[in-house]
Amino acid sequence: MRFQELGLGRAALDGVESLGYEDPTPIQEQAIPYALEGRDVLACAQTGTGKTAAFVLPILDRIPVRGTVSALIVTPTRELCVQIEEVAETVASATGHRVVAVYGGVGYEPQIKQLKRGVDLVVATPGRLLDLQRRGDLDLSEVSVLVLDEADRMLDMGFWPDVRKILSLIPKKRQNLLFSATLDARVLRVIGDTLTDPVQVDVAPAATPVDLIEQRVYPVDASQKVELLIAMFKEWDEYLAIVFTRTKQRADRVEQALASSGVPCVTIHSDRSQSQRTQALKNFKEGKHSVLVATDVVARGIDIEGITHVVNYDMPDKPDEYIHRIGRTARAGLTGVAATLASYDDYEQLYTIEREMGMTLTSVDVEGFAYKDRVLPRRDRATAAPRSAFSGGVMRRRGATRRWR
Ligand code: AMP
């Protein structure tokens, strides 16, 4: 299907051209026609599927250019907020709308100044949005389209009370577009009273078939994780890697250890200021630093091309998170490595992930590394029954993945 067949008007199609997209992705193909009809849409799609344009294009096609807030996009993290704004600005340069991003961690004044000039579309994180509304700097009484982006993540991050408050500030009669990487019971519970007769669209992610990711486990004693990580990077001579840790403190520690052993790395987590985070991401994207150390919360949704290795320094809490993490590599048809450091304490989680994946991950050692006593994972288990997909269809198994690039 072509973009021209989705029902978008001339200006929005010019916007597509400015974005440089040739053909729509599956989520765009499925969601845009319904969104243009004014229907509520419930979309199960993760980052990397093209979901941003799936809501930005129909919104800017439909809302008037009048300088009052007609559409509101609420998203959990500052990084996502900025990423969405970039797409929206590009399309708006063709449609003539004004777009403002409001998010915390930076001064109020520039955002207030922009709002005062008149705005049609606001992209926001919940806290700052509510602050600005309370201060009287933002009028939400004319919002006719609401997007809740990464709804599952907003729940995980405890934003739902804020989201409810936002819902109470905007007109009841409106169009709702809800995007979520997973549609588990929690998400479904909260959307009940948010959406009206929604059309559900559900797509497999873009080019992240499990088969293109080489998944490895590095068994190691917990006390040697840092040393092993350094040895791993010495062994891989070329990489653009993300290292996931469970906490900010651990992210800092890993960053320091890597840096002092000569591995150029940066870290982003919620204790860093917005400008530090932006600079760190920029350095990483430009390849100045080849390792990004991050916690799940901030890394979620960040779109970076060319990641060669995803390292689980700490185990993810849930199998879904494992899939989110490793899906950062092997984009656009390239291959990638997902390396999980696992000590004895991690094995239960490892087995759960393997059960969910329906496969036993290969254990790998770094040659020449002086391993202390360690317990190796059980490897005699028959592979558990494969599941067709993780909950929410985050990543499909062989054969079910649709490719669009
Ligand atoms: P998203 O899921 O919105 O974060 O998009 C993931 C990536 O896909 C971004 O780098 C987009 O620029 C890119 N993208 C989105 N839609 C298309 C398209 N129709 N054609 C090519 N690239 C796209």
Ligand 1 centre from 27 Cα, in Å?
A: 10
Lowest mean pLDDT across 126-140, 151-165, 272-286: 272-286
HSE-up (13 A, CA, CB side) for residue 12 = 22
Q: Tell me if 3-202 shares its fold with 213-404.
A: yes
DSSP 293: E
Q: CB under 6 Å to ligand 1: residues?
A: 21, 23-25, 28, 47-53, 303
The yes-or-no verdict on residue 315 having pLDDT over 70 is yes
What pLDDT is attached to residue 5?
96
The highest-level CATH class for domain 3-202 is alpha beta
128-134 contacts, C-beta under 8 A, 24 or more apart = 128/102, 128/103, 128/104, 129/72, 129/74, 129/102, 129/166, 130/162, 130/165, 130/166, 131/104, 132/102, 132/108, 133/169
Q: Are 325 and 244 in contact (CB under 8 A)?
A: yes
Ligand 1 atom closest to the Cα of residue 24 is 19
pLDDT of 338-359, one tens digit each? 999 999 999 999 998 888 777 7
Asked if residue 277 has pLDDT above 50, the reply is yes
| Centroid of ligand 1 to alpha carbon of 85 (angstroms) | 14
Tell me the pLDDT tens digit for each residue of 111-145: 999 999 999 999 999 999 999 999 999 999 999 99
Mutate to test the pocket of ligand 1, among 1, 5, 19, 89 (most ligand atoms within 8 A of CB): 19
Q: Looking at the predicted structure, is the pLDDT value of residue 191 above 80? A: no
pLDDT one-digit tens code per residue, 74-125: 999 999 999 999 999 999 999 999 999 999 999 999 999 999 999 999 999 9
Tell me the pLDDT band of 389, cut-offs 50, 70 and 90: very low
Pocket test for ligand 1, best of 303, 328, 394, 405 (most atoms within 8 A of CB): 303
Which CATH number is correct for 213-404, 3.40.50.300, 3.40.30.10, 3.40.190.10, 3.30.70.260?
A: 3.40.50.300
Across the range 21-45, mean pLDDT stands at: 93
Q: Which numbered atom of ligand 1 lies nearest the CA of 16?
A: 19
pLDDT of residue 402: 28
Query: Domain-by-domain residue ranges, the chain?
Result: 3-202, 213-404
Q: Which runs of E-coded beta strand occur in 48-96?
A: 71-74
**Looking at residues 386-402, what average pLDDT do you find?**
31
Residue-level pLDDT at 331: 65
Which residue from 2, 44, 52 has its CB within 8 A of the most atoms of ligand 1, so it is best to mutate?
52
Q: Does the structure show a pLDDT above 50 at 384?
A: no
Q: Please tell me the residue having the least CA distance from ligand 1 atom 15.
A: 50
Stretch 3-9: mean pLDDT: 96
CA–centroid distance, 333 to ligand 1, in Å, is 14
Strands of the sheet with 41-44, listed across from one edge: 99-102, 121-124, 71-74, 145-148, 175-180, 41-44, 199-202
User: What is the structure's pLDDT at 210?
Assistant: 67
If one compares 19 and 160, the residue with the highest pLDDT of the two is 19
CB-side exposure of 42: number of CA atoms within 13 Å? 19
